[in-house]
C-alpha cells in the first residue's frame, strides 16, 4: 500500500480563521454502501444507494454478495451481464453505475456498445466487456477513469442492468444480483 500525506483545510464558513489538518491516507478500496445493493433485470429494478464517504474517486468495483441474472430463460445465469453469446458475443457485461438521473458513470458511455437490428432501445449503448472479467467473476472492477469522479456523502447512485436501463429486450429477463460497492479514492 502507498501511504500519502495530504493537507485538508476547513471550510471558510467554519469560523473566521481557516485551519489546516494533516491527514495520512492509505491507497485502498473503501466500501461506500451501508447495506447490500440489489438490482434486477427488468421493469426499472435498479439498486439505489447513498455514498457513505466523500472524495474524488478514480474507479469503483462491485463485489457479488448473492443472486444472479438471466437475460433469457434459454441462457445461463450471470452475475453481471447476458450469456447470449450469439447476439452479444462472449462476456457481455451489463452492470452499470449511474447518477440519480440515470446518467452513466461507470463504465463511461464511450466504453459501451449498442446492439443494432433489435429495436430502437437496443440501439442505445448498454453493454461492454472488461479484460479478465467474466459472467461469474466474484467482482467487477471498472477501469480507471481519465478524470476523477467527485463523490459527496449521501449522494445517490444507482446500479442498473443494461437491458433494463435502456428498456431493451427485457421482457424475458429474470433474477436479482446483490453487491457491495467500493471506491478507490485519490
What is the dotted CATH code of the domain comprising 29-185?
2.60.120
**pLDDT tens track for 36-85:** 999 999 999 999 999 999 999 999 999 999 999 999 889 999 999 999 99
pLDDT at 1: 39
| Domain map (residue ranges) of the chain | 29-185
Whether residue 12 has pLDDT greater than 60 = no
Q: What is the pTM of this model?
A: 0.84
**Per-chain mean pLDDT for the chain:** 89
Q: What's the average model confidence in pLDDT over 112-119?
A: 82
Cell of 163: 437491458
Question: In the structure, what pLDDT confidence band is assigned to residue 33 with cuts at 50, 70 and 90?
Answer: very high
Q: For residue 156, what are the CA distances in angstroms to 34, 47, 48, 66, 147?
A: 12, 10, 7, 22, 20
**pLDDT tens track for 80-103:** 999 999 889 888 999 999 999 999
CA dihedral of residues 174, 114, 111, 173 (deg, nearest 10): 0
Amino acid at each position: 500500500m502507498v501511504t500519502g500525506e495530504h493537507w485538508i483545510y476547513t471550510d471558510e464558513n467554519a469560523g473566521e480563521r481557516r485551519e489546516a489538518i494533516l491527514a495520512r491516507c492509505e491507497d485502498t478500496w473503501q466500501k461506500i454502501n451501508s447495506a447490500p445493493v440489489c438490482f434486477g433485470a427488468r421493469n426499472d429494478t435498479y439498486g439505489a444507494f447513498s455514498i457513505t464517504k466523500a472524495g474524488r474517486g478514480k474507479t469503483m468495483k462491485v463485489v457479488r454478495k448473492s443472486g444472479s441474472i438471466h437475460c433469457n430463460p434459454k441462457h445461463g445465469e450471470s452475475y453481471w451481464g447476458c450469456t447470449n453469446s450469439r447476439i452479444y458475443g462472449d462476456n457481455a457485461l451489463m452492470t452499470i453505475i449511474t447518477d440519480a438521473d440515470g446518467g452513466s458513470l461507470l463504465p463511461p458511455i464511450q466504453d459501451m456498445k449498442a446492439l443494432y437490428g433489435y429495436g430502437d432501445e437496443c440501439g442505445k449503448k448498454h453493454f461492454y466487456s472488461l479484460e479478465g472479467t467474466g459472467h461469474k467473476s466474484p467482482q467487477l472492477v471498472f477501469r480507471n477513469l481519465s478524470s476523477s469522479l467527485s463523490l459527496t456523502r449521501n449522494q445517490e447512485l444507482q446500479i442498473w442492468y443494461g437491458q433494463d436501463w435502456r428498456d431493451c429486450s427485457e421482457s424475458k429477463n429474470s433474477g436479482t444480483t446483490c453487491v457491495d460497492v467500493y471506491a478507490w479514492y485519490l
